[in-house]
Amino acid sequence: MISPKNYAKANRLLPKGFKTANEFFDHVYKDKDMIWMGQNTNHLHEDTEITEAMINSIKNRDYCKYPPPEGFPELKSLILEDLGLDDGFDILITAGGTESLFLSMEGVLDPEDNVITCDPGYLIIDNFAGRFCKHVISVPIYNEDCNYKLSPELVKQNMDGDTKLVSLVDPLNPLGSSYNKDEIKEFVDISYDQDIYLFHDITYREFARKHHLMAKFAPEQSITIYSFSKIFGMAGLRIGAVIGSPKIVDSIRTVIINDLGTNLVSQKGAIAALNSKKNWLNNIKNQTRENQKIIKKAVDQVEGTFIPVYPSDGNMLAIDMYETGIKPADVAEFLLDNKIFAREGSYTSKLFGHRYLRVSFSIPKYHVEKFASCFIDAMETLQNSP
């Protein structure tokens, strides 16, 4: 008999008519007219060197061979160069940022350890940490007092002698809050004073107005999670990396499952993406920031709604609608009926998910304009419904 595993999972509320999350996502994926604002994915890339590199790899039938088990050295070097890090760091290529999260948690944590995360946040981090440590302390950060982020002061208030790791998603999914240099330095001081690790998930860093890499200030205490899913527009290709000191990465090596390497074609695309980044980065950043203004204008027209963190430093933001009495899940249903996929808040918060809708906006401008119009219609319609 198999005993069920009682790991905490993200609360996925299914729209009407769907029995499983997989069935729902299959439906959304196959609908070519669906506007994709529910998973923070980036749809602004055109056919560039990235697609050409992967097509050429397939044409050459490179996929008949296994790649190097820890990633192509060229790709590893390009990632370190992209981050401005030197050879004093070690790096493993993974099947997306999610695998990096899991491997890091297993490689660093012991059963007697505590981990500090935040709510709202990327709940799969809590899930993974809970498998390998004693206790996950998810600190509520949905308020103006802490600027909607896990502050150094909150970490001090919630840590104890068993705290081993503090998890920082920067910018934060779902709110788009990020850290300035002074805050980063405060976290670094805490890490050295208390001998704890800082988990720095930088999946959305390129969308930020300014970003400060923890690894540059705390090379021995930080673990950096890197992803090609967002700014590079490669979410479905599942490729990422974990970066840290040789000591940290050696520990993570002991728990690697995919010892035959990460998708070869994806790695070829990632190499091309880094080599061509300067050609397209500013255009994508500028488009997302303009798109964010369109959403803000629409939200400002609906009484009782607001954006907690504006401007967002990510490619997503939260729209709080608690004062309207309208449920975010109902708004998500309304949008879905109009071919717009957005996410109600419970996916990223156990405590505050009933307050907000999360939307991402690294999509074409006319899609955002449709969302803005439909959001206003949804709020008006639902407000007047019995």
156: pLDDT strictly greater than 90: yes
Q: Band of the pLDDT at 211, cuts 50, 70, 90?
A: very high
- For residues 17 and 25, give the distance between their C-alpha atoms in angstroms, rounded to a whole number: 12
**pLDDT one-digit tens code per residue, 38-96:** 999 999 998 789 999 999 999 999 999 999 999 999 999 999 999 999 889 999 999 99
DSSP lists the bridge partners of residue 358 as 318, 343
Do both 247 and 353 map to the same domain?
no
- 6 within a domain of the structure (yes/no): no
Type of residue numbered 100 = S
Q: Which of 276, 298, 313 is the last residue of a domain?
A: 276
Do both 126 and 267 map to the same domain?
yes
- 365 within a domain of the structure (yes/no): yes
Q: What is the CATH number of the domain that holds 105?
A: 3.40.640.10
Q: Band of the pLDDT at 374, cuts 50, 70, 90?
A: very high
The stretch 308-329 carries a mean pLDDT of 98
Do both 122 and 149 map to the same domain?
yes
According to the model, what pLDDT value does residue 193 have?
97
Do both 296 and 350 map to the same domain?
yes
The rounded percent of the chain whose pLDDT value lies above 70 is 97
Q: Band of the pLDDT at 13, cuts 50, 70, 90?
A: confident
Q: What is the CATH number of the domain that holds 348?
A: 3.90.1150.10
**pLDDT one-digit tens code per residue, 90-148:** 999 999 999 999 999 999 999 999 999 999 999 999 999 999 999 999 999 999 999 99
**pLDDT one-digit tens code per residue, 236-286:** 999 999 999 999 999 999 999 989 999 999 999 999 999 999 999 999 999
- For residues 53 and 190, give the distance between their C-alpha atoms in angstroms, rounded to a whole number: 43
Q: Which of 260, 276, 292 is the last residue of a domain?
A: 276
Do both 258 and 282 map to the same domain?
no
Closest CA to 380 of 303, 306, 318: 303
Residues 6 or more apart whose Cβ sits within 8 Å of residue 29: none
Do both 122 and 256 map to the same domain?
yes
According to the model, what pLDDT value does residue 240 have?
98
- 155 within a domain of the structure (yes/no): yes
Do both 249 and 120 map to the same domain?
yes
235 to 68, 190, 213, 240: CA distances (angstroms): 22, 34, 22, 10
Please check whether residue 217 is in contact with residue 242, taking contact to mean a CB–CB distance below 8 angstroms: no
pTM of the complete model: 0.95
- 14 within a domain of the structure (yes/no): no
| Full strand arrangement of the beta sheet holding 343-344 | 316-320, 356-360, 343-344
DSSP lists the bridge partners of residue 163 as 114
**pLDDT one-digit tens code per residue, 174-195:** 999 999 999 999 999 999 999 9
323: pLDDT strictly greater than 90: yes
Q: Which of 224, 254, 276 is the last residue of a domain?
A: 276
Closest CA to 243 of 108, 99, 92, 106: 92
According to the model, what pLDDT value does residue 17 have?
83
Q: Which two tokens stand for residue 32?
A: 């070519």
Do both 223 and 364 map to the same domain?
no
- 91 within a domain of the structure (yes/no): yes
Do both 249 and 303 map to the same domain?
no
Domain housing 153? 49-276
- 33 within a domain of the structure (yes/no): yes
Do both 36 and 58 map to the same domain?
no
- 1 within a domain of the structure (yes/no): no
Do both 79 and 225 map to the same domain?
yes
Closest CA to 77 of 251, 275, 264, 218: 275
313: pLDDT strictly greater than 80: yes
According to the model, what pLDDT value does residue 87 have?
85
Please state the domain count of the chain: 2
